Amino acid sequence: MKIPPVKGTRDFYPPIMARRNFIVDGWKKASLRNGFEEYDGPIFEYLKMYQIKSGDEIVEQLFNLTDRGDRELAIRPEITPTLARMVNQQVNSLPRPIKWFSVPRLCRAERPQKGRLREFFQWNIDIIGIDDVRADAEVIFTAIDYLRSLGLTSKDIKAKISSRKLLSALLRSIGIDEKDLSAIYVLLDKKAKLSDEAFEEMLTKQVPDKVMQDKIKHFMAVDSVEHVVIENDEVARAVDEVKELFKLLELMGVADFCTFDMHIVRGLAYYTGIVFEIHDVVGELRAVCGGGRFDNLLRDFGGPEIAATGMGMGDCVLEILLEQNGLIANDLPTRSIDYYIICTEDLLMMQAISLTAKIRTAGKCADFSYKSGKVGKLMKTASELKAKNCIILGQEFIDGQELVIKDMQTGQQKQEKNETFITSL
């Protein structure tokens, strides 16, 4: 009986696993280099965890399950709620700032399409306890630091940055009611994906007043923070914060990757300050990553009010982007064999296995051919496995316990006593 994999999931055969490791290991290295510590939570949580942060709408995207105690659970579609829960649990004993990262496996029951699967990996970094735009700068820097370290340049990607505080201040300055802000955020966030007509129509539904509509369209079209009209003190403070952020990013050496963009809104209601997304410059793909400040989340999860900012980067869009830019190989090594041991006669097999075990015990990578046979054929296998050296047990071994060791790169061969080789390991 043949069974297929479940729709929207991936089988990580060794060459594909090597690509996943290339991405995930890079995330880990960039996180550690930037001073973040790794954490993780369970693969499932109580269903209501996800309703708190993102509302009932996310429930449709969840893989739900009930456990034996009839508890309603869900496979995690994101890790931020787990982060909030974990930080709240130990909020008094964790030294601040809390700078944590994670590379969770996440599942969402969405329609699979380019750059979007039902199961994926997502790099998350968060800084908790710093109520200052410096922390937002550090998050954006870290994301760029990673992407740049892979070889992506400011010609390939841009971090588009805006501010919820600024947008909120502007919307309220023209008379939008506080309670209507969330719905407008969702609409403005979708703008890029809508036709002009569809957007007009939906905007009219949200904001019937034509003058207000024009004002919204006017300030959404601003292409530099310098051009924002300072309507009041609140707008002024929000503008100053954005300007400070850009100054910091310049000092950190990533200004060329960063641009101000009012259209970056982020759909979710929980953002409270700086928001950003990193996009491919060509604009063909979904966002490579997105994030921002969320100062109320820990409170919403039953904890104290603590400032927080962070970002998430999935592996699917990233892999396409790296592929398009020739920055991820198709034949990344799946292992790295220092010595591949072969023997010409079956009676030498025990010796070959013994030698293999000794090399491994010495901490080096060794593998052996389960079949004895002709040197040429076995050497071909060594070459296919990309072994660095091939050790041959043949007549030389029978005659005088001598190994023939061939450097597979240079082709050079030498003979060495078995014992001498082993003690030299």
Distance CA 140, CA 419 (A): 56
Q: Are 365 and 338 in contact (CB under 8 A)?
A: yes
- The burial of 117, by beta-carbon neighbours within 10 Å (0-12 exposed, 13-18 middle, 19 or more buried), is given as buried
Applying CB under 8 A, among 40, 234, 345, 396 the residue interacting with its own copies is: 40
Among 19, 26, 27, 45, binds its own copies (CB under 8 A): 45
141 to 180, contacts with its own copies by CB under 8 A? 141, 145, 148-149
Give least dist CB 238 to its own copies, A.
20
Residues 365-394 that bind its own copies (CB under 8 A): 365-368, 370, 384
Site string for its own copies, 244-283 (x = CB under 8 A): ---xx--xxxx-----------------------------
User: Residue 9 interacts with its own copies (CB under 8 A)?
Assistant: yes
Tell which positions 282-311 bind its own copies, by CB under 8 A: 300-303
Distances (CA, A) of 394 to 172, 350, 351, 403: 84, 13, 11, 8
Stretch that binds its own copies, among 45-53, 160-168, 314-322, 406-414 (CB under 8 A): 45-53
- By the rule CB under 8 A, 231 interacts with its own copies: no
Minimum CB separation of residue 335 from its own copies in Å reads 5
Q: Does residue 52 bind its own copies (CB under 8 A)?
A: yes
Cα–Cα distance measured from residue 186 to residue 390, given in angstroms and rounded to the nearest whole number: 61
Give the burial class of 202: count Cβ atoms within 10 A of its Cβ; 0-12 exposed, 13-18 middle, 19 or more buried.
middle
The Cα 139–Cα 311 span in angstroms is: 7
Q: Does 329 bind its own copies (CB under 8 A)?
A: no
Cβ neighbours for 407, distance < 8 A, ≥ 6 positions apart:
388, 389, 413
Site of tokens 């963009």: 261
CB of 239 to its own copies, least distance (A): 19
Out of 27, 100, 123, 185, which residue is the one contacting its own copies (CB under 8 A)?
Answer: 100
C-beta of 220 vs 422, nearer to its own copies: 422
Q: In what order do the strands lie in the sheet with 64-66?
A: 44-46, 72-75, 64-66
**What are φ and ψ of residue 384, in 5° steps?**
-65, -35
At its nearest, how many Å lie between its own copies and the CB of residue 287? 23
Q: Which of 357, 377, 383, 395 binds its own copies (CB under 8 A)?
A: 357
Q: Is the dihedral of CA 181, 303, 131, 83 positive or negative?
A: negative
Nearer residue to its own copies within complex by CB, 218 or 247? 247
SS3 275: strand
Exactly one of 18, 278, 287, 382 binds its own copies (CB under 8 A); that residue is 18
Among 23, 56, 57, 63, binds its own copies (CB under 8 A): 63
Does residue 242 sit in helix, strand or coil? Answer: helix
Q: Which stretch binds its own copies (CB under 8 A): 80-88, 157-165, 171-179, 261-269?
A: 80-88
- Say whether 8 sits in a helix, a strand or coil: coil
With CB under 8 A as the rule, give the number of residues binding its own copies. 100
Nearer to its own copies, 71 or 218 (CB): 71
